[in-house]
Amino acid sequence: MSEFEFKSICAELPEQLLQKSFLWIWNADKIPPHIGISVEKEYFSLTYRKSEHLLTASMLKKAKRSMVPLVLVEIPKDLIQRDLATFFSKYERASGEITCMYPIREVLNLDQVSQLVDLLVYLESKQFIHGVNGLNLPEDYKGIPDYSMEDILSRIELLNQKS
């Protein structure tokens, strides 16, 4: 049973990817997944290595090439009321209590959100999910698996130890 089940997932890439805004859920079938955000041609993410500001098109190529299970959740552009580069540049990398969600929740002005499931529930309740697309997903994929904040922090710690 998924902690958050998507109503429907289109198996094709979204139309006008470079003109819209999306939450990127990398390793969507894993515990925990990783989250990034794109607005038009710019992609942002906070990883255990660094804060990223890349091209959306290059991240899409990476997802296709590496066969990473990816979910793209389209959100309204006007929901992002702040400059992404400014917020992501405040963070060097994910570590300790700082997760990939931190800059995203700041950009969306949702401080009460601590995990992806909370964010998706909020977006769905406000009808801010304009579409969901999947790439490289398992055939039986329905949504985000159940996991805790401890799972997230343990994963970040493990990745930091490996680097």
Peptide bond into 32 cis (omega under 30): yes
CB 76 within 8 A of CB 20: no
Whole-number pLDDT of residue 163: 64
CB 136 within 8 A of CB 67: yes
DSSP state of 118: H
Report which of residues 112 and 26 the model is more confident about: 26
Whole-number pLDDT of residue 1: 36
- Whole-angstrom Cα distance, residue 163 to residue 145? 26
Q: How is the chain split into domains, by residue range?
A: 4-162
Report which of residues 162 and 128 the model is more confident about: 128
Q: What is the pLDDT of residues 88-143, one digit of tens each?
A: 999 998 887 889 999 999 999 998 888 999 999 999 999 999 999 999 999 999 99
DSSP state of 155: H
- Whole-angstrom Cα distance, residue 109 to residue 11? 30
**Whole-structure pTM value:** 0.93
Single out the residue of 100, 108, 102, 58 nearest to residue 83, CA to CA.
108
Q: What is the pLDDT of residues 36-87, one digit of tens each?
A: 999 999 999 999 888 899 999 999 999 999 999 999 999 999 999 778 999 8
H helix count then E strand count, the chain: 5, 8
CB 28 within 8 A of CB 134: yes
Whole-number pLDDT of residue 138: 94
